[in-house]
Amino acid sequence: MRKVRTFSSDIDLVKERRSHIVKTAVELIVKKGYNHTSTRELAAALGMSTGGLYHYIGSKDDILYLIINFTSDLTQSLLDNCTKCNNGSITQHFTECIRLYLTGVEQYRDLHNFINHVMLSLSVNDRRIVYENESRIVAYLEKVLTEGVKKGEFRAHDCKCLAHNVVAIANAWANRGWYLKRYYTIDSYIKEQTGALLTLLTGASDPVHVTAR
Amino acid sequence: MRKVRTFSSDIDLVKERRSHIVKTAVELIVKKGYNHTSTRELAAALGMSTGGLYHYIGSKDDILYLIINFTSDLTQSLLDNCTKCNNGSITQHFTECIRLYLTGVEQYRDLHNFINHVMLSLSVNDRRIVYENESRIVAYLEKVLTEGVKKGEFRAHDCKCLAHNVVAIANAWANRGWYLKRYYTIDSYIKEQTGALLTLLTGASDPVHVTAR
C-alpha cells in the first residue's frame, strides 16, 4: 500500500477520518468527475476547512491513494468473511461467497464505478494494487471451485474461467446497474446468478433455484 | 446521434477521415488520458496540422462524440452480421453471435476501455447513446435465447439475465484483459464461455465443448 502523509499521531482517529474522507470523496467525484472536484469543495462537503483536510492528506492525489488503499481493506475483509463461512458443503460455501461478494459490490457501487473510471489515469503501480485485489478474489473462488470438483460436488469445468465470471458478474452489477436495476434487486440478481452457476456446476437435470437467505 | 461540425462537403472523405481520427485518438487517449491529450498532439499523430484537424471537427470535445457515434456504427454492424448468420439451428446462431461479438470486442479493446473510462465524464444524453448500444445487444441475444427456449432447443432460463451475462463476459475481456490474456487467447476464451453457456442452456449431461471455427 502507498503511504499517505498525515500530521496527526492518533492512528485510530486518522483511520476513522480517512474512511469518512473516502466515502464523501467518492460520492462527490462520481457526481462531478475527479478533475472538476477541488479539495476546497471536498473539505466543504466534509464540514472541514481546507487546512483541516490537509491535516489528513498531503495532496489532492492522496485522495486517490486513500480510495485505492480502502479497496484493498475491503478485499481483505471480504476474504476473511468468506473464510469464516467455510463450515458446510462446498456448494453452501460457494453460494455464501457469491452473496458476500455481490452484497459488498452493491454497498460500494460508487466506489467500484469510480475505480473503473480512474483506472486509466492511475500510475502502473497503483493500477497493480487494484488488479491485485481482483486477482485475490478470483484466486479464492477458483480454490473453492477446484475443491468442489476434487470432492465430486461439482463437475469438471475450467474453474479459473468460472471464478473470473463471478468477478465479471459482480463488476457488471456495479457498471451496468443503470440497466440491471430495472429488472433485478441485488437479492434477485444474486439468486439468479447463483442458480445458473450451480446448475452448470452440478449438472442438475433441472435448473437449480437458490432460496434467498 | 450527435452532429459534429465539418467544413467539408465530401461525405465519404469526411467519413473515412473521421474513422481514422477515432482510431488514432483512442490509441493516444488510452495512453495519455483525455485531459492530457491536446488537439495539437492528436493532429501530429494524424500527420495533420491543427487547422487541418479542425476541418473535420469543431472542438476537442467533438472527438468524444465521434468516438461515441463510431461505437453506435459498430453495434449496428454487429447486429447486421448476427442477423445474416441466422440460417442454421438456434444453437449455431447463438454460438456465432457470441463469436462475432467477442472478436469485435478484441478488435476494439482500446475503444471499449476508453468508453468505460470517460463514461462518468459524459453528459447524461451521451451516456444514453452508450447505454442504448449495450441494450440493443442484450435485447438481440435475449430474443435468440427466448426463441431457443420456445423451440425446445434450450431449457427454460432467465433469458434476460443470460443475455446480460454475455455482455458482462465481453466487457470483462476488454476491462480485465490484463488478467485474462495470461491464460486465454480470444479464441480459447470464446470456446470456454460458449461451452459453459451451451452446457447450461441444453442441460447436457457432460459439459459441452465448442469446436473452434
For chain A, what are the domain ranges?
Answer: 11-202
With 90 as the cut, is the pLDDT of residue A82 above it? Answer: yes
* Among candidate residues B15, B16, B140, the one with its CA nearest the CA of residue B75: B140
Q: What is the dihedral of CA B73, B74, B79, B85, to 10 degrees?
A: 130
**Smallest Cα–Cα separation from A169: which of B180, B168, B138?**
B168
Rounded Cα distance between B30 and B196, Å, is 32
The whole-number pLDDT of residue B11 equals 75
Neighbours of B122 (CB within 10 A): 17
Question: Mind telling me how many Å the CA of B123 is from chain A's nearest CA?
Answer: 11
Q: What is the pLDDT of residue B2?
A: 61
Minimal CA separation from B69 to chain A, in Å: 20
* Long-range pairs, B184-188, Cβ under 8 A, ≥24: B184/A161, B186/B102, B186/B103, B186/B106, B187/B212
Name every chain B residue with its beta carbon within 8 A of the beta carbon of A199: 200
Q: Report pLDDT digits (tens) over A147-179.
A: 999 999 999 889 999 999 999 999 999 988 888
Residue ranges of B 29-48 with Cβ closer than 8 A to chain A? 30, 33, 35
Q: Which residues on chain B are in Cβ contact (under 8 Å) with A120? A: 30, 33, 113-114, 117
pLDDT tens readout for residues B137-188: 999 999 999 999 999 999 988 999 999 999 999 999 998 888 899 999 999 9
Predicted local confidence at residue A213, as pLDDT: 55
**Does the domain at residues B67-202 carry the CATH identifier 1.10.3720.10?**
no
Would you say the C-alpha torsion A101, B133, A183, B83 has a positive or negative sign? negative
Of the candidates A114, A135, A169, which has its C-beta nearest B179's C-beta? A135
**A114: closest CA of chain B, how far (Å):** 8
Is the CB of A120 less than 8 angstroms away from the CB of B33? yes
Nearest CA in chain B to A189: B161
Would you state the pLDDT for residue B213? 55
Q: In chain B, which among 148-167 make CB contacts under 8 A with chain A?
A: 155-158, 160-162, 164-165, 167
**Averaged pLDDT, groups of 10, chain B, 213 residues long:** 67 80 84 80 92 86 85 93 92 96 93 78 78 93 96 91 96 88 96 94 80 59
State percent of chain A over pLDDT 70: 94
HSE, CB side, 13 Å, CA atoms: give it for residue A108: 26
pLDDT for position B70:
86
**Nearest residue in B to A209, CA atom:** B157
Residue with cell 461505437: B71
Nearest-Å Rg of the Cα atoms of chain B is 20
Contact criterion met (CB < 8 Å) for A156 and B183 = no
pLDDT, tens only, A33-70: 777 788 899 999 999 999 988 888 888 888 888 888 88
pLDDT given at position B176: 85
| Shortest CA distance from A128: residue in chain B | B178
Task: Give the chain A residue nearest B165 (alpha carbons).
Answer: A169
CB within 8 Å: A156 and B207: yes
A135 confidence band (pLDDT: 50, 70, 90):
very high
Per 3-state DSSP, what percentage of chain B is helix, strand, and coil (rounded to 5)? 75, 0, 25
CA distance B114 to B105: 12
Look at residue A182 and give its three-state secondary structure. coil
List for chain A the helix, strand, coil content (%; round to 5).
75, 0, 25
B88 backbone dihedrals φ, ψ, rounded to 5°: -130, -145
CB contact under 8 A, B207 and A155: yes
Assign residue A33 a region (left: φ > 0; alpha: ψ between -120 and 50; beta: otherwise): left
Residue of B178 and A192 predicted with greater confidence: A192
Residue A7 three-state SS = coil
Question: Distance (Å, rounded) from C-alpha A100 to C-alpha A103?
Answer: 5
A-B CB pairs within 8 A amount to 106
Q: In terms of Cα–Cα distance, which of A75, A103, A105, A81 is closest to A93?
A: A81
CB contact under 8 A, A161 and B184: yes
Given an 8 Å threshold on Cβ–Cβ distance, is B172 in contact with A176? no
Percent with pLDDT over 90 in chain A: 48
- Cα B91 to the center of its chain, rounded Å: 22
* pLDDT of amino acid A141: 97
Whole-number Å distance between alpha carbons of B57 and B65: 10
Cβ-contact A68, A26 below 8 angstroms = no
Cα separation of B158 and B135, whole Å? 16
Please give the grid coordinates belonging to residue A116.
473503473
Q: Residues of A numbered 54-93 whose beta carbons fall under 8 angstroms of chain B's beta carbons: which are they?
A: none
Q: Across the interface, do B171 and A175 touch by the CB < 8 Å criterion?
A: yes
pLDDT exceeds cutoff 60 at A1: no
Best residue in A113, A122, A131, A192 to probe B by mutation, most B CBs within 10 Å?
A192
Q: What pLDDT, on a 0 to 100 scale, did the predictor assign at position B41?
A: 92
Q: Which residue of A has its CA nearest to B34?
A: A121
Contact B120 A117 (CB under 8 A): yes
Residue B196 to residue B202: CA distance in whole angstroms: 10
Rg, Å, chain A Cα set:
20
Which architecture does CATH list for A11-202?
Orthogonal Bundle (1.10)
Which residues does chain A have within 8 Å of residue B179's beta carbon, measured at their own beta carbons? 131, 134-135, 138, 164
Q: Grid coordinates standing for B66?
A: 465521434
pLDDT attached to residue B166: 97
Which of the residue ranges A114-118, A139-143, A190-194 would you say has the lowest mean pLDDT? A114-118
Q: Angle at the Cα of B199 (from B194 to B202), degrees rounded to 5? A: 115
Nearest to A107 by CA among A63, A61, A68, A71: A71
